[in-house]
Amino acid sequence: MFNFDLDDVLLLETAKIPHRLNLFTKSGKYEFYGRLQDYEKKYTELFRCSRSALINIKNISEYNASTKMIYFDSSLSCKCSITKTRELKRRILANK
């Protein structure tokens, strides 16, 4: 059982092992069983940027619109789906 402050969450993505998720926080990486859609419904603050990832928009350090890459810190990034870019830009501007 893990308890995290939602402000510390950077990225929640599917793992290479089926039915497992990787949670990246400011303090580390955690792996557990689950489904992204369950967390998407439970935590509306997280944004579904692609089929396999939920992100916390508050913790984005950079977004490159030409490559569709979202950067959180020097070592962590993920790609945004083309269909989600307009909503991502809107949410980033609303969050500033």
Mean pLDDT across 2-27: 92
CA distance 5 to 1: 14
Band (95; pLDDT cuts 50, 70, 90) = confident
The H-or-E segment that residue 86 falls in is helix 85-95
Residue pair 50/42 in contact (Cβ under 8 Å)? The answer is: no
Q: Which amino acid belongs to residue 58?
A: K
Specify the pLDDT at position 9: 94
What pTM was estimated for this model as a whole? 0.90
Q: pLDDT (tens digit, 9 = 90+) per residue, 24-78?
A: 999 899 999 999 999 999 999 999 999 999 999 999 999 999 999 999 987 899 9
Residue pair 8/45 in contact (Cβ under 8 Å)? The answer is: no
